[in-house]
Amino acid sequence: MNKKHVFNAGPCILPQAALDASIEAIKDFKGTGVSLLCISHRTKEWDATMDECRALWKELLHIPDDYEVIFLGGGASLEFLCVAMNFLEKKAAYLDTGVWASKALKEAKAFGEAYAIASSKDKNYTYIPKGYEIPTDLDYFHITTNNTIYGTEIKTDIDCPVPLIADMSSDILSRPVDVSKYAMIYGGAQKNAGPAGVAFAIIRKDALGKVTRHLPTMIDYRTHIDKLSMFNTPPVFPIFVMNETLKWLKGIGGVEAMHKINLRKAQTLYDEIDRNSLFVGTAVPEDRSIMNICFVMAPGREDLQDEFLAFSKERGMVGLKGHRSVGGFRASVYNACTQEDVDALVACMQEFEKLHK
């Protein structure tokens, strides 16, 4: 069977070391004689896994002591609601950079005044808005750092005069982050941190408890901080795989080393898109994501789209079809996607070009 080169936007490709460890744990979790899928979350062996996973998050992202890391069910989409309930008292602003940012804003509008401070919708979200001012009377300002559908990314930690909250679902652990600039960072694990089924949240503890509304127990972030993410049964299997993924990341040199690898992968593919006469990138160059690389057929060559998808599939490329709302192609080069995978895609694009010159 031909080797597969996986560019899925999510769930992501995972490191082989994490997959292998997970397979063994399903057979026998830490020598208990019990499968990971059947283990009680109230055992010392599971406590150790949870402790290690939290510690790895803190180590890899250099998270300050006044923050806590929690693991939650429901994905980032549930956090759109929880963020607003926990932080929005009167007014919040959102940066509208795509579908997920607009969905987060929609949820917030149910709990107070929430609005888009700036938007790139006018050009189909192909750039990151700039030049906007952040009012100082906000309860928080919310950003989505990487936009998977459109291939744009906020690559630096912005200075913000109010509590800053970020959905980093699809670029967490891909680059260094100054966590101290954020009141909260959250996201689904299924892009860089692990499989689908668990979300993470990194929260500055003193940012909580500011709203006057009643918070249902499961919605209150303090519940999960106080109970170390085990107020109810946690998603055991996804957290285990997450832990193994973080161990792999630490083993290759951590987030700083990963960032250098990711920059090289992205540059390799963007260089080919810009060189190749059959393809055109869709995002404004200065805002191009290093995680989700979006491109289309060049003008006048649109009829080749389906042919290229079939051609690339025959050569082992998986997940290149663009999101249904924008079409074209999308290569998601998350952490576990290798330079070899990217080089294979580039070779495929070059071969296709030769056939159609």
Q: Which amino acid is at 316?
A: G
Pull the structure tokens for residue 292: 């989700």
The single residue listed with the structure tokens 């049964």 is 233
Cα angle at 152 between 64 and 267, to 5 degrees?
A: 90
d(Cα 109, Cα 34) in Å, to the nearest integer?
46
Total length of the chain: 357
Strands 292-297 and 329-332: what pairing? antiparallel
d(Cα 27, Cα 219) in Å, to the nearest integer?
34
Active site residue 167: yes
CB proximity list for 357: less than 8 A, separation 6 or greater:
277
d(Cα 46, Cα 238) in Å, to the nearest integer?
13
Q: Which of 57, 155, 171, 191 is catalytic?
A: 191
Kind and range of the H or E element at 221?
Answer: helix 221-226
Q: Say what the alpha-carbon torsion angle 312, 318, 320, 325 is, to the nearest 10 degrees.
A: 130
122 phi and psi, to 5 degrees? -60, -25
Q: Which of 57, 139, 155, 167 is catalytic?
A: 167
Q: Do the beta carbons of residue 175 and residue 259 sit within 8 Å? A: yes
Active site residue 100: yes
Q: Which of 57, 100, 171, 287 is catalytic?
A: 100
Neighbours of 260 (CB within 10 A): 11
Pull the structure tokens for residue 319: 């997940």
The crossing angle, in degrees rounded to 10, of helices 339-355 and 305-314 is: 130
Q: Do the beta carbons of residue 139 and residue 163 sit within 8 Å? A: yes
d(Cα 177, Cα 158) in Å, to the nearest integer?
10
Q: Which residues of 268-298 are buried (b: 16+ CB within 10 A; e: fewer)?
A: bbbebbeebebbebbbeeebbbbbbbbbbbe
3-class SS at 38?
A: helix
Query: Which residues are catalytically annotated?
Result: 100, 167, 191
